[in-house]
Amino acid sequence: MVVRRAGGTVIMSINTSSVCPNDSTGYNSNIFTVSMYSGIFIVGLIFNLTALAFFFSCTKSRTQTIVYMTNLAIADTLLILTLPMRIYYYMGFGGLPQWLCDGLGLVLKANMYGSIFLLTCICFDRCMAVCFPMSEHVNQGRKKAPLVCVGIWVLTFGASLPIYFSKRKQVHYTNCFGNLPVYATQPIVVLPTLFVGFGIPLVIMLVCSWGLVRAVRQSTVAQTNLVDRRKIQRMIAASLFIFLFSFLPYHATLALLSLYKGNITCPMLSVYHYSVMVACLNTVLDPVAYYFTTETFRKNVEVGVVQRMFPLNSQSSEVNCGSRANNS
């Protein structure tokens, strides 16, 4: 890292090769990285476009869950569309302008946090629907799902744009996607990111998951053979596990880099890049956990191999384009 002043403005020049001398060109032709991003792009794009085709076909009645899942699929799709340039970069090709690298990084991070907030909303909405099914106040609040989604889009991109422009003015990079997350690890940025972008959603998901499990256990219907209580509990646990698996490594790495930003090592930089890859993997896991395991989706969409790969069948009727939508 080289710091110099230009017209009274501090400009930080980041040279990744100084951190990892073996990568003097700044381009990591890692077969594993290219293979993973390629797989995420192909599978994730197919899964999410299939989900979007189904969700947009539900025009007669849209439940709150469909609203959240539609926006989640859109966010995941936008994130996926940034991956071809990452594949191009990690294959060892150069010539990518820095404004494109920064812009694609902005879209990826904004949609990653959009996914986090939308997953949290889905969990919270399910908890409210199950724990307070007769509350008029709760039902009226759940109907504001479209406004909540608009707020999430404004928040994620609105918070990312100032960071993007500040970074472009103050930081000069020598590489593209191989750079250190210098601005993101600043205390003024990393603390709100860890707290608002991950900590609060995680707490909400933990509390709501506990509430859902408790409600299922106490339900009189769950005591009968009409509902597979263990299957519902496994799906709740799977959703929480996917959230932690996808986003905990990235935020833990950000915290680590913020603590050791003056002494970043090559292994730490590699861990950061792999944590970004794992976060992108969430775009494949979301359809598995939230779309293809719902009963109505499986009954109305001919997904062939996907149905055989994921035979679990949710007992929830949340994603429903039929007559029961009015009960949501």
What are the pLDDT digits (tens) for 139-149?
Answer: 888 889 999 99
Q: Are the C-beta atoms of residues 55 and 73 closer than 8 Å to each other?
A: yes
Largest CA distance in the chain: 74
Which is higher by pLDDT, 202 or 290?
202
Query: How much is the pTM?
Result: 0.81
What pLDDT score was predicted for residue 27?
44
Stretch 303-309: mean pLDDT? 45
The CATH number of the domain covering residues in 27-167+178-314? 1.20.1070.10
* Distance, CA of 326 to CA of 279 (rounded, Å): 35
Query: Mean pLDDT, to the nearest integer, of 267-292?
Result: 88
Question: How high is the mean pLDDT of the chain?
Answer: 77
Across 92-101, 146-155, 265-274, 313-322, least confident range: 313-322
pLDDT band at 292 (very low <50, low <70, confident <90, very high): low
> What is the enclosing helix (H) or strand (E) of 37?
helix 31-57
Specify which residues 172 forms β-bridges with.
13
Give 171's strand partners.
12
pLDDT band for 168, please (50, 70, 90 cuts): low
DSSP letters, 167-230, are HHHHEEESSSTTS--TGGGSHHHHHHIIIIIIIHHHHHHHHHHHHHHHHHHH-TGGGSTTS-HH
| Structural domain boundaries in the chain | 27-167+178-314
Residue 186 pLDDT greater than 60, yes or no: yes
Predicted local confidence at residue 314, as pLDDT: 44
User: What pLDDT, on a 0 to 100 scale, did the predictor assign at position 2?
Assistant: 42
| Comparison of pLDDT for 316 and 293, the residue scoring more | 293
pLDDT at res. 76: 95
- pLDDT band at 228; cut points 50, 70, 90: low
CA distance 158 to 181: 19
Q: What is the pLDDT of residues 75-96, one digit of tens each?
A: 999 999 999 999 998 888 777 7
**Residue of higher predicted confidence among 23 and 290:** 290
pLDDT mean over 119-147: 88
Report the pLDDT averaged over residues 174-188.
73
Whole-number Å distance between alpha carbons of 300 and 239: 23
Q: Let me know: does 87 contact 37? Beta carbons within 8 Å.
A: yes
Residue 186 has phi, psi (to 5 degrees) of: -70, 140
At residue 159 the predicted structure's pLDDT band, cuts being 50, 70 and 90, is confident
Locus of tokens 């999410």:
48
Among 87-101, 193-207, 307-321, the range with the most confident prediction by mean pLDDT is: 193-207
What phi, psi does 57 have (nearest 5°)? Answer: -80, -15
Q: What is the pLDDT of residues 216-226, one digit of tens each?
A: 777 665 555 55
Sign of CA dihedral 262, 265, 266, 269: negative
The bridge status of strand 9-14 relative to strand 171-173 is parallel
Helix (H, G, I), strand (E, B), or coil: what is residue 311?
coil
Which three-class secondary structure state does DSSP give residue 11?
A: strand
Q: What is residue 202's predicted lDDT score, i.e. its pLDDT? A: 96
Neighbours of 188 (CB within 10 A): 8
Is the distance from CB of 160 to CB of 106 less than 8 angstroms?
Answer: yes
For position 133, what pLDDT does the model report? 81
